């Protein structure tokens, strides 16, 4: 009897575990051609983290953006108090890369990851994000170049109260009076 109880208990833990981090939530793209250097259009994508069944539409912020380090990166900023995290992602196309049509996005780092699809013509991106025990669905749109949001992405990761990669004290201080100056000295893709 005792043994049976233990087996049930262990089974329950395994089941709950599967419920919070669904197996297969992040999937490798079927496209095999790695897009060297990232997307042609450098505008970032902002979205809300939604629960997998979409019943919770705002579990935090999601950002997919190019970085001055040359990578494209994902930022996951949960509203539940868990620390924000970032990791690089790459794009995959069917055959040689073209700046139009669909591409897959994929990246993992430890217990974090993102897999999704992006339509370069409509600017829509949709996919599955994972941050430890949190699985989330995202559905976003490329930001409008006229609004100048590329620099908002830089600021989200590099400036602010709790930046993910703070600028060193030796960095030119110009951004302290106006943080929107990054692209005066850096490019969005490290070139
Ligand atoms: C999703 C978060 C994120 C965003 C958005 C982002 N960065 Fe970064 N950036 C990083 C991280 C993390 C590093 C450190 C990379 C490393 O060393 O692995 C970095 C590194 C850099 C570096 C140093 C590169 C080097 O080789 O030393 C520069 C410059 C930079 N970023 C500029 C920018 C600019 C400009 C933007 C906006 C166009 C931007 N970043 C957007 C996270 C981000
Ligand atoms: C006036 C020019 C200028 C502006 C404006 C500027 N940077 Fe820089 N940045 C530099 C220079 C120069 C370096 C190299 C400095 C060094 O290595 O100490 C640098 C280095 C960096 C690094 C690498 C730091 C490291 O530890 O390797 C990052 C990240 C970065 N900048 C991000 C940004 C972001 C984000 C902004 C906007 C908020 C910004 N920079 C605005 C000139 C600038």
Token output for 171:
């960095």
Please say if the pLDDT value at position 24 is more than 90: no
Residue 5's pLDDT band, with cuts at 50, 70 and 90, is very low
Helix (H), strand (E), coil (C) string for 18-58: HHHCCCCCCCCCCCCEECCCCCCCCCCEEEECECCCCCCCC
Q: Whose CA is nearest to atom 24 of ligand 2?
A: 167
Q: In terms of pLDDT, which residue wins out, 68 or 103?
A: 103
If you average pLDDT over residues 46-58, what whole number do you get?
97
Please say if the pLDDT value at position 69 is more than 70: yes
CA distance 137 to 49: 6
Q: Whose CA is nearest to atom 14 of ligand 2?
A: 171
Residues in the chain: 191
The gap from C-alpha 90 to its chain's centroid, in whole angstroms, comes to: 11
If you average pLDDT over residues 54-75, what whole number do you get?
96
In the structure, how many helices (H) and strands (E) does the chain have?
3, 9
> pLDDT of 155-182, one tens digit each?
999 998 789 999 999 999 999 999 999 9
Q: Whole-model pTM above 0.75?
A: yes
> pLDDT of 130-150, one tens digit each?
999 999 999 999 998 777 789
Residue 22's pLDDT band, with cuts at 50, 70 and 90, is low
Q: Is 167 helix (H, G, I), strand (E, B) or coil?
A: coil
Q: Strand pairing partners for 80?
A: none
Please say if the pLDDT value at position 14 is more than 70: no
**What is the reported pLDDT for 3?**
43
**What is the reported pLDDT for 165?**
95
Q: Which of 7-21, 52-66, 106-120 has the lowest mean pLDDT?
A: 7-21
Exposure pattern of 151-176 as b/e (b: 16+ CB <10 Å)? bbbbebbbbeeeeeeeeeeeeeeebe
CB atoms within 10 A of CB 65: 24
Contact 61, 149 (CB under 8 A): no
| Domains of the chain, earliest start first | 33-185 (2.40.160)
Token output for 145:
């170049």
Please say if the pLDDT value at position 63 is more than 70: yes
Ligand 2 closest atom vs CA 175: 38
> pLDDT of 78-90, one tens digit each?
999 899 999 999 9
* Ligand 1 neighbours by CB, cut-off 6 Å: 63, 65-69, 73, 75, 86, 150, 153-154, 156-158, 164-165, 182, 186, 188
Residue 77's pLDDT band, with cuts at 50, 70 and 90, is very high
């Amino acid at each position: 009897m005792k043994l049976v109880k233990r087996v049930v208990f262990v089974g329950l833990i395994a089941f709950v575990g599967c419920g919070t981090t669904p197996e297969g939530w992040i999937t490798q793209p079927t496209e095999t051609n790695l897009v060297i250097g990232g997307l042609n259009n450098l505008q970032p994508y902002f979205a809300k983290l939604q629960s997998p069944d979409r019943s919770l539409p705002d579990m935090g912020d999601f950002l997919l953006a190019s970085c001055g380090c040359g990578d494209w990166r994902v930022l996951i900023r949960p509203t539940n108090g868990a620390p924000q995290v970032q990791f690089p992602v790459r794009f995959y196309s069917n055959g040689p890369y073209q700046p139009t049509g669909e591409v897959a996005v994929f990246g993992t780092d430890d217990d974090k990851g993102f897999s999704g699809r992006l339509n370069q013509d409509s600017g829509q991106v949709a996919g599955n994000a994972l941050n430890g025990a949190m699985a989330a669905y995202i559905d976003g749109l490329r930001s409008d170049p006229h609004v100048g949001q590329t620099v908002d992405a830089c600021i989200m990761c590099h400036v602010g109260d709790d930046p993910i990669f703070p600028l060193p004290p030796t960095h030119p201080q110009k951004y302290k009076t106006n943080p929107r100056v990054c692209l005066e000295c850096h490019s969005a893709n490290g070139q």
